[in-house]
Structure 1
Amino acid sequence: MRIKLQQKEFYQGIQTVRKAVSSKTTLPILSGILLKTEKGKLKLVGTDLEIGIECYVDTGIIQDGSIVLPAQHFANIIRELPNQEIILSAETSNNTAQIKCGNSQFNIHGSPADEFPLLPEIDSGTIFTVEQQKLKKIIEQIKFATSKDENKPFLSGGLLLLENKDIKLIATDTYRLAYKEDVTDNKKSDLTKAIIPNTTLQELTKLLDNKEERVEVILTDNQILFKFSGISVVSRLIEGQFPNYKQVIPDASETEVSVDTKELLQATKRAALLAKEDSDIIKINFNEDKLIITSNAPEIGQAYEEVPISLLGQETEIAFNAKYVLDALKVISDEEVNIKLSGPLAPGVIETSSEQKYIYVIMPVRSA
């Protein structure tokens, strides 16, 4: 193989697929990136067998070929080269590559391309499209609520639901639940569901752009494919039964509050500074026209914050994990949020009133 291409585009492509490269693997080939000339471009592929990412980089092909190069050293080399034309040559006889750029030259040992696992070909299944910016927002509003409990793998991802024109994504770690619903302009379809691993959701938000260009999604029984901006992300799905999220969302409340999102976010951030010394616990007292947030660090001091509100129903007090409250408020773009409560020991609900429904259920904590 012998190709020439620009350093900036080359490095961007490497960084894109590197997100899927395995850092801990018993298969050395998986710590590398596949480079292969295809369709007049250079195809780059990274995979850890759970998620695979593929992209194409514009290149001048002098001679077709392929090789697998170690991701970390390869990326570091390309990153430090000047933004000029790079000439990369690979010899299949000894699996080595030569990288030339300006006055720099590197020789790097690789592996045979035919040993690299192929990404699955997915061209049929449930197919729908959604805007990049919409999908990015949907994922960002739920991904933090996935569980890290390895004994419950079905909670370590987000439940994707497609029903009629609605797209829903739900995540829970049993301490809180995040639910996001939006609409697509796809044709109506029967109920389709899948659990997408958190690692896939995390990498997607890094790759998706805030633009209207659409993402094509193809869903099969055990895999899901996302295609956008010349990038393909394929991931396995998680097996298992996701909990009945509808049973978790309270259908009634004794206290309803409307509050400015930014004001509540900033006040909670400040109160959380001392809450860290007390298991991240903050107390919130809901009065007629204000809520009061307090936190206590026995050896340091106390925090007190007031935020104006509009209250309907009973005054009440409840304690939450500050981090859990902040996780939700940080990803809500609405100017106001509604908080619904049914007592100090019942789950609290933070939700938006916009058509793109967002519901966040959070379990209270007991405090002295």
Structure 2
Amino acid sequence: MDVTIAQSAFERALSVAGRAVPSRATLPTLTHVLLQAEPGRLKVAGTDLNLAIITWEEALVSEPGGITVPAKPLAEFIGALPDAPVHLQVNRQTWTLQIVCGPYETAMKGLDPEEYPILPEVEGDGFALDPEGFRQAIDQVTFAAATDESRPILTGVLMRREEGSALTLAAADGYRLSVKRLPVLRAPEGPFSVIVPAGALEEVARLLKGETDPVWMQLLRGRNQVGFRLGRAAVLSQLIEGQFPDFQAIIPRRWETRMEASREALLKACKALSVFAREASNAVRLILVPGEGERPGQVLLHSRSPEKGETRVELDALVEGNRLEIAFNVRFLIDVLEAIEGDRVVFEMTTSQSPVKVLSVGDPAFVHVVMPMFL
């Protein structure tokens, strides 16, 4: 391998691929990144066997080839170099990577790339998705996935498409549920239903920022994997096996009390209330008061800490139906209010102990359900 690449491009590639490299691994090669010189570009890849991130950068390739090198010291060294061309050359006898950049020169011990896990190509037909729409959908769903590994199914996001319908993303952790429907630009495959780790989709969303070309999603059924190809990067992830809960059965179909309010005003209020709610199980109490005559409806928010004190906020809101007092985990409210894109938010409730539906005015493709706390 004989390659010359811009220092900034190489540093960027190592930063992207390095996110999939575990800090510790039973296989030494998994703490490495794969460097593979291809015609006109350098491929950099990292994996922990469950997640793989691959990226490509333009490079002058005099001789193709590859090597694996410890990810962390390589990234630290390249990050310390001046903004100048970096020359990479591999000694296949000792599997050593020679690095020269201006007055800097080093030799790093590596391994034969044949020892690195095989990473399939994400090419060919697949689902084409709008990059910004897909990024927003991921952000609006993954926050509701569980982080507790005791129920692996709930740490993933259901991605389901029925014949002739949009792609549906859903995540739930037992206390809340987020669902988002997303149109597809191209869908050559038939119906499918898979569960993708939430963390893998968060890596895809991170890479999608600023992308304008469609993102391609491909199911690698023989390997129980899904691949996403976007711009000059690709993300591969193992799928989670099992049956995702019937989320449609969780979504309430009716309401007794309905509130519409400013999303920004409600979010600011919840952040202020969280200061006092932290020491009281994050509980915040809402009293929804319907309007009468010319007087608008109101939502009264209250949180109390035995040690720090208490705070109250009164906000104008459109409240229909019955007066209701209900409590929530304020962190759950903040999460969904930050995920919503619109200016107005709707809460539909039946009782103080029943699931609550949260909607974004102007975005019928998004639905959130959150369980209240006991008063």
Contact 2:341 2:360 in 1 (8 A): no
Contact 2:327 2:374 in 1 (8 A): yes
Tell me, in whole angstroms, the C-alpha distance in 2 between the residues paired with 1:320 and 1:121.
45
Contact 1:165 1:185 in 2 (8 A): no
Identity score, percent:
30
Tell me, in whole angstroms, the C-alpha distance in 2 between the residues paired with 1:338 and 1:212.
31
Match of 1:158 in 2: 157
Query: How far is 1:27 from its partner?
Result: 0.6
Tell me, in whole angstroms, the C-alpha distance in 1 between the residues paired with 2:55 and 2:184.
26
Match of 2:141 in 1: 142
Query: Structure 2 residue aligned with 1:308, among 282, 298, 316?
Result: 316
Contact 1:351 1:357 in 2 (8 A): no
Query: Does structure 1 residue 200 correspond to structure 2 residue 200?
Result: yes
Tell me, in whole angstroms, the C-alpha distance in 1 between the residues paired with 2:66 and 2:189.
41
Contact 1:124 1:220 in 2 (8 A): no
Tell me, in whole angstroms, the C-alpha distance in 1 between the residues paired with 2:94 and 2:220.
39
Match of 1:342 in 2: 350
After TM superposition, the structure 1 = structure 2 runs for residues 1-368 of structure 1, keeping only pairs within 5 Å, are 1-121=1-121, 123=123, 127-163=126-162, 164-186=164-186, 190-221=190-221, 222-288=224-290, 289-367=297-375
Query: How far is 1:246 from its partner?
Result: 0.7
Alpha carbon RMSD of aligned pairs, Å?
A: 1.6
Contact 1:223 1:234 in 2 (8 A): yes
SS of the residue 2:310 aligns to: strand
Distance of aligned partners of 1:235 and 1:69 in 2 relative to their CA distance in 1, 3 Å threshold = same
Query: How far is 1:187 from its partner?
Result: 5.2
Contact 1:165 1:186 in 2 (8 A): no
TM-score scaled to structure 1, two decimals?
0.96
Query: How far is 1:191 from its partner?
Result: 3.1
Query: How far is 1:98 from its partner?
Result: 1.8
Tell me, in whole angstroms, the C-alpha distance in 2 between the residues paired with 1:188 and 1:307.
49
Q: Deviations over 1:43-62 (max 9, x none)?
A: 11111111111121111122
Query: How far is 1:354 from its partner?
Result: 2.4
Q: Deviations over 1:117-143 (max 9, x none)?
A: 111345567x21011111100000111
Query: How far is 1:273 from its partner?
Result: 0.9
Unaligned runs of 5+ in 2: 291-296
Per mean C-alpha deviation after superposition, the further-off stretch among 115-124 and 31-40 is 115-124
Match of 2:293 in 1: none
Tell me, in whole angstroms, the C-alpha distance in 2 between the residues paired with 1:158 and 1:107.
43
AA at the equivalent of 2:326? I
Per mean C-alpha deviation after superposition, the further-off stretch among 257-266 and 213-222 is 213-222
Tell me, in whole angstroms, the C-alpha distance in 2 between the residues paired with 1:63 and 1:180.
47
